[in-house]
Structure 1
Amino acid sequence: MEASLAACILAALLASGSCLQCEVCTELGTSCSGTVQTCSAGLDSCGITLIEQTLVGMKQQVIVKACISSDRCNLGPLTMNFGNGVTMKQGIACCVGDACRTTTVTVPPADPKPNGRRCPACVAVLSAQCNEGIIDCTGAETRCIEIAGTTTIGGTTTSMTMKGCASEDLCANTTEASESFAGISTDLTFKCKASGTARGPVGLLIPALAGLLLMQLLS
């Protein structure tokens, strides 16, 4: 902590603005606690992300606290639907300092109204091929998304592919994300039928996708 504080003071002397520190943690459920870390340049807010995933009526939540860019604090609904009762929703709240102790976050409410968009949908675990169906997108899910990659659990690598509907802000661009969570290492590629250059928030979904894979394997 002393070294981190010294680095913070040095950064403040060398550049304008203050040095932000945020609690960093990831846990299943709606709360977590972790170490306070100094944020990298460009990450000017503390973010609390709550992700809710549903697998055929079974719900699981994951909370992530991390340093993030403040341009992600006012994102619209972040939701995905992969068909056959598999959905994912994400809410983000931002805070700085003591405000993070009382800041709460919720996931977007369900919006079952069809929006006219239709997308291929499927979930394939242990296979890179997906048995596609077509689903009607609802609410803010106006883009088609495809997630593909590998997940390693206990030394065993598994392929997975997911396709479905996604909301505009979630599907801002094509990107890649890699992360380890609860002994699960995930390396995924996200592709959307949308254009854009801004860095999207999909990386924060990695813990939830890892949990969803585990739910699939145990079901």
Structure 2
Amino acid sequence: MKNLVALLGLISALVLSALSYRCYSSLCRNSTTCDGSEDECFGDRCITMSQHLHFGEDGRDIKSIFKGCANETVCRTKGSANAKNFIFRNNMKCCDGELCNTDDYDIPEEDPTPNGVTCPSAYCTGTLEECESDEEMDCTGSMDHCFDYREHVVDPGERDEKYSMKGCANSDACKYSFDNDVGVNVVEKKYGKCYAPSKSNNLQ
């Protein structure tokens, strides 16, 4: 029996060692380069996630990188969302192999061509209540959904702010409901919803 237990333990160790490998692991806010430490992973991929956040009329741009372990479900995700005075871009690049996630910041350009979808456009600060507005915006590129999002965040400069916004988003941004936010510390996510627009020439 002891020999059987030892054999099973050895097999388990060999299986785990075959499935695990190292990925670079780090979170670098307000930076377009990021090296980081090495982590043992039990996912099936390493990942480099680049993110661009633009808040407010003062033009604050936060470019950040996250590196670590991932699985196939999040790979090749390219989230995009626009609202009045707000831009969200997220790009997840996965690779397969030991310490393969050496990429730096990489955000593909969003297609600026209007796609026939219109959504309510609103941007309020200092509140987590719904931001009311009669304005609408023309959605572009892959952004064929409308969104309503409210959160309380602290940015890398320690600026504490509450935001309530409405605008256009693509399916990848909606899929994770903006939960993969790495550029800021999220104190509270009050509300997040994507929905089909009332007017659309392209949405199926």
For normalisation by structure 2, the TM-score amounts to: 0.70
SS at match of 1:169: helix
> Match of 1:110?
110
The Cα of 1:82 is off from its aligned counterpart by 0.9
2:33 is the alignment partner of 1:31:
yes
Which one is further off, 90-99 or 14-23? Answer: 14-23
How many matched pairs? 179
Q: How far apart, in 2, do the equivalents of 1:111 and 1:178 lie?
A: 22
> Match of 1:64?
66
> Match of 2:7?
none
| Letter paired with 2:20 | C
Identical pairs, percent: 25
Q: CA contact under 8 A between 2:32 and 2:63: conserved in structure 1?
A: yes
Q: How far apart, in 2, do the equivalents of 1:51 and 1:113 lie?
A: 22
Q: CA contact under 8 A between 1:114 and 1:137: conserved in structure 2?
A: yes
2:122 is the alignment partner of 1:122:
yes
> Match of 1:93?
93
Q: 1:104 to 1:167 in 2, by over 3 A?
A: same
The Cα of 1:156 is off from its aligned counterpart by 9.6
Q: 1:59 to 1:115 in 2, by over 3 A?
A: same
2:23 is the alignment partner of 1:22:
yes
The Cα of 1:142 is off from its aligned counterpart by 0.6
Which stretches of structure 1, 4 residues or longer, exceed 6 Å deviation after superposition? Answer: 153-157, 177-180
Structure 1 residue aligned with 2:141, among 135, 139, 142? 139
Give the root-mean-square deviation of aligned CA atoms: 3.4
- Residue deviations 1:4-56, cap 9 Å, x none? xxxxx99643558411332221112111232322335xx32111011123345
Q: How far apart, in 1, do the equivalents of 2:183 and 2:79 lie?
A: 22
- Residue deviations 1:172-211, cap 9 Å, x none? 2658679895xx44332432116xxxxxxxxxxxxxxxxx
> Which of the pair is proportionally richer in helix?
1
| Letter paired with 2:98 | G
- Show structure 2 runs of 5+ residues with no match: 1-9, 197-204
SS at match of 2:175: coil
Structure with greater contact order relative to length (CA < 8 Å, sep ≥ 6): 2
